[in-house]
Structure 1
Amino acid sequence: MEAATIQKLSNSFSGALRTFSYWIANGTVGLPLLEGIDYSCIFEEPSALEQAYAIFANVIEMDEVGIVCNAKYAEMRAAQYIRSYVDNSYKVEPEFEDWEIDLY
């Protein structure tokens, strides 16, 4: 029986995740969509923050060598969720598909 090959996340994905986390934490994620919007309440509701990260991770795409191809789009989709969480009048366009919001 062959030993399983263990894969690590690519440096590109690791960098995209780190950058996304930095922007979430310092209040600058999803600009200009979240410009001037205080979304700090998501830090008090773990499931809201979890959902934003799930959307980012579900939407992000990498090529065959692990280079992230759509970090800004993944960030924007997560930002749309955050905006809809803090602003009931905001309508996500296009609406989220099930695969985007699944929690694994």
Structure 2
Amino acid sequence: MKLSNSFSGALRTFVYFMSSGSQNTLEGIDYLDLYGSDPSAIEQVFAIYVNVLELDKKGNVLNAKYAEKRATDYLRAYCDPNFSADPPYEDWETALYSPPPLNDQI
């Protein structure tokens, strides 16, 4: 099964704004240097985004903006000690799953 066009579009858009430094939910936060200096912070942002993202039975994304907010609130809190995500993160939101095998299973 392939991921839906809706999921692909949501992820692509999130990646673009995160990597261009123009993510509107992170206005005023200088986060681009983290890509080279602290990639685990960026890894956590993307993990939260995909863990929170919900799809319907046809694969259409239902909550892209909420997933975006949960993910970027993590980075805002990481960069600004005076900010905390509300509500606090649950374990399932921040879970980091195992990487795929080194070789494709095709």
Asked whether the two chains share a fold, i.e. TM above 0.5, the reply is yes
1:82 equivalent in structure 2: 75
Aligned alpha-carbon RMSD (Å)? 0.9
**How far apart are residue 26 of structure 1 and its match?**
1.1
TM score, norm. by length of structure 2: 0.86
**How far apart are residue 72 of structure 1 and its match?**
0.5
Percent identical among aligned pairs is 55
**Equivalenced residues, count:** 96
Aligned equivalent of 2:12, options 18, 22, 28 = 18
Which stretches in structure 2 are left out of the alignment for 5+ residues? Answer: 98-106
CA distance in 2, matches of 1:83, 1:14: 25
Runs of 4+ in 1 over 3 A off after TM superposition: none
**How far apart are residue 23 of structure 1 and its match?**
0.5
**How far apart are residue 91 of structure 1 and its match?**
1.2
CA distance in 2, matches of 1:66, 1:85: 31
TM score, norm. by length of structure 1: 0.88
